[in-house]
Chains A and B, each alone.
Chain A
Amino acid sequence: MTAVERIEAEMPDRPARARPTPRRILPWLLSVVIGVLCVVPFLLVIAISFGRKIEGAAWQWDFTLANYQRFFVGALWPDEVTFLYLQQLGFSFWYAVIASLLAVLTALPFTLLLTRLSRRAQAAWLVFILSSLSLSEVFIVMGWDILLSNNSGLPALIKSTGLTQWLKDVGWFQTLRDWGLASPRNVKFKTSQFATILTMSYLVWPYAVILLYPALSRLDRSQSEAARTMGAGGWTVARTVILPAIRLPLFGSTLLLFVFLLGTYVAVTVFAAPAQHTTAVAIYSNIRGANLNAPFGATQAVILLLAAGLCLTLGHRLNRWAEAR
């Protein structure tokens, strides 16, 4: 068939364009599916956060700000003011900030070293990192729990090696007690902020590596080499060439991990003292746990979400402001 014949054969087809093609239906269908599955759950949380709990039953739709009032100043306001829930949010932030910073700062040199390896070696390392990244929080907490538990694990090891006695002798034991890391008889990690933050940091450490990896692997090595030829030593190169180049991903990664850690649940319940529990734990106990107050749980979830969003926005602004300078 020559082209001309082909043209003739196909000419009558041309007005068929008006038919609804998959190209037109697809975006609409997708919008509906994504909208329902990804957005509606969040909208429900927001809607229910204005609902009301009924004693002895579940809850009902309403539009009351009582839940929000309770979160900020307590249920009995104005007669009595409690900041219990704000304090929980404070702990959420405290743990998440320290743990994400710790993870990013320790993952940075590791990732930098990783990107200097051969492609094959990098792939092998990434398998290891990804495997530990995907490992469930329950398993990680289980591992650290065994390691840090008072009867077995590290405290027992410290005692049996005589380290406890030595600490008592040199007087550092008292310092550890002041920090809440020792009982009268031995060092202890459960419950302590140290164990909580350590586990949380461990939880996101592989994420930190994965998040920093693209930026670091794209670092132009010739820039460092250029700095070298101009007489810069290893640390000077890191400070004047590498750090400025990765400031943005470094900051972004910390922020992302921070938001992720706001929702940590198991590590906090296992390692933190009940008085130092977080909003995530409170949400859990309100929705499915002992309290059974779904609207208030939803309120806490909304506030956690808003706080996370606020931090991301602020971080973004700060970054842009720093860029502009």
Chain B
Amino acid sequence: MRVLGPLYMAFCVVLLALPIAVVCGAALNGGRSMFFPPRDPTLARFGEFFVSEPVWTQALVNSVIVAVGAALLAVLLAWPVAYLLWSTGSKLSRTLAALGSMPFAVPPIVFGVGLGFFWGFLGGLGAIWAGIFSHAVLLMALPLVTISIGLQGIDRSHLDAAATMGATEAVTFRTVILPQTIPYTISGFFFVLVLSFNEFIVMFFVSASGFATVTLQIFNSLRNGYTPTMAVAAITFIGVSVLVFSAVARWGDLPRLMGADQSRN
């Protein structure tokens, strides 16, 4: 076991990293086709993706708008549900939490189809705000979980203590509950940000070709084959994910967020 264990972990990592490494390498191709190992290594594709190709720069802007908007909105939607669940534990709050998590739990293509119809009726089809709402609802389950974990970490005697010192419920919320749950709220925000960045099936049905995010743009041009510029997009996205999760790990308790036992180190 002592030798086999690390060996198995290494094997898993190599397999996990393999396609990612291949994509990264392909981004350096000089020509229009994907080769691995790359031919004519160049960084020109990065320029295309970030600066010169309007298709990609616009998609990148859209991706950022949708991801940030959806993350904000998801946190705003999840907070009251999580708070209600934690403070009352009522049947209503449990139902709301279950319904709020449902879109994330079913195959995304089904929810995407539903949202396509939904925005069709409301006139939001193809509008970027509908995209923001869609991702916020789809990914609301994540901040719901992280904020709930944060709230559960609050010692109920803290609330009593605040009350005996003259704090009303509103003041307690502002001075005790909110500050202690901020790391968890931010974690939830970032989880939505990253997953929204990478999601495309729901966005495909909602955008109705009205706008394109980066992943959607790649999805749409699948038939025409891959280009090295797409690989640049992939690298960018991996980079953002690693950065965001590193930040969460650095300033939050990642093992606890993932459900590790608290008492052990």
CB atoms of B100 and A34 under 8 A apart: yes
CB atoms of B204 and A288 under 8 A apart: yes
> Given the complex of chains A and B, what is the CA–CA distance between A189 and B114 in angstroms?
34
Q: Closest CB-CB distance, A94 to chain B, in whole Å?
A: 15
> What DSSP secondary structure best describes chain B's contact surface?
helix
CB atoms of A142 and B234 under 8 A apart: yes
Cβ–Cβ < 8 Å partners of A116 in chain B: 5
> Given the complex of chains A and B, what is the CA–CA distance between A301 and B107 in angstroms?
9
CB atoms of A301 and B222 under 8 A apart: no
Task: Tell whether B20 is near chain A: CB-to-CB under 8 Å.
Answer: yes
Q: Closest CB-CB distance, A309 to chain B, in whole Å?
A: 8
> Given the complex of chains A and B, what is the CA–CA distance between A26 and B93 in angstroms?
11
Cβ–Cβ < 8 Å partners of A137 in chain B: 198, 200-201
Known interface pairs A44-B114, A298-B113. Does A34 touch B81 (Cβ–Cβ under 8 Å)? yes
CB atoms of B264 and A140 under 8 A apart: no
Q: State the interface size on chain B (CB cutoff 8 A).
A: 82
Cβ–Cβ < 8 Å partners of B259 in chain A: 213-214, 217
Known interface pairs A132-B20, A135-B238, A139-B234. Does A27 touch B255 (Cβ–Cβ under 8 Å)? no
Task: Tell whether B241 is near chain A: CB-to-CB under 8 Å.
Answer: yes
Q: Closest CB-CB distance, A110 to chain B, in whole Å?
A: 5
Known interface pairs A127-B245, A218-B261. Does A144 touch B19 (Cβ–Cβ under 8 Å)? yes
Interface flags, B201-243, vs A, CB<8A=1, else 0: 1001100100000010011001000100011011001100110
Find the residue from A126, A206, A210 having the highest chain B CB count within 10 A.
A126
CB atoms of A205 and B16 under 8 A apart: yes
> Given the complex of chains A and B, what is the CA–CA distance between A323 and B158 in angstroms?
38
Cβ–Cβ < 8 Å partners of A147 in chain B: 18-19, 22, 36
8 Å CB interface, B2-25 against A: 5-6, 8-9, 12-13, 15-20, 22-23
Find the residue from A45, A48, A298 having the highest chain B CB count within 10 A.
A45
CB atoms of A41 and B114 under 8 A apart: yes
Task: Tell whether A291 is near chain B: CB-to-CB under 8 Å.
Answer: no
Task: Tell whether B50 is near chain A: CB-to-CB under 8 Å.
Answer: no
Task: Tell whether A265 is near chain B: CB-to-CB under 8 Å.
Answer: yes
Cβ–Cβ < 8 Å partners of B110 in chain A: 42, 45, 263, 283, 301, 304-305
Cβ–Cβ < 8 Å partners of B18 in chain A: 143, 147
Known interface pairs A41-B114, A152-B35. Does A26 touch B109 (Cβ–Cβ under 8 Å)? no
CB atoms of A263 and B108 under 8 A apart: yes
> Given the complex of chains A and B, what is the CA–CA distance between A127 and B204 in angstroms?
28
> Given the complex of chains A and B, what is the CA–CA distance between A35 and B92 in angstroms?
12
8 Å CB interface, B131-174 against A: 133, 137, 140
CB atoms of B84 and A30 under 8 A apart: yes
CB atoms of B117 and A44 under 8 A apart: yes
8 Å CB interface, A136-151 against B: 136-140, 142-147
CB atoms of B260 and A217 under 8 A apart: yes
Cβ–Cβ < 8 Å partners of A2 in chain B: none
List 28 A-B residue pairs with CB atoms under 8 Å apart, sorted by A's residue number: A27-B96, A30-B96, A33-B77, A42-B111, A45-B110, A110-B9, A119-B260, A122-B255, A123-B254, A127-B242, A130-B241, A135-B237, A136-B237, A138-B219, A139-B198, A140-B19, A142-B23, A142-B226, A143-B234, A146-B19, A147-B19, A152-B35, A205-B16, A259-B107, A266-B219, A283-B113, A287-B205, A304-B110
9 nearest CB pairs, A to B: A143-B19, A263-B107, A214-B259, A41-B114, A136-B198, A131-B241, A217-B260, A263-B109, A139-B234
> Which residues on B are within 8 Å of A, measured CB to CB?
1, 5-6, 8-9, 12-13, 15-20, 22-23, 26, 34-36, 77, 80-81, 84, 92-93, 96, 99-100, 102-103, 105-111, 113-118, 121, 133, 137, 140, 194-195, 197-201, 204-205, 208, 215, 218-219, 222, 226, 230-231, 233-234, 237-238, 241-242, 245-246, 248-249, 254-255, 258-261, 264-265
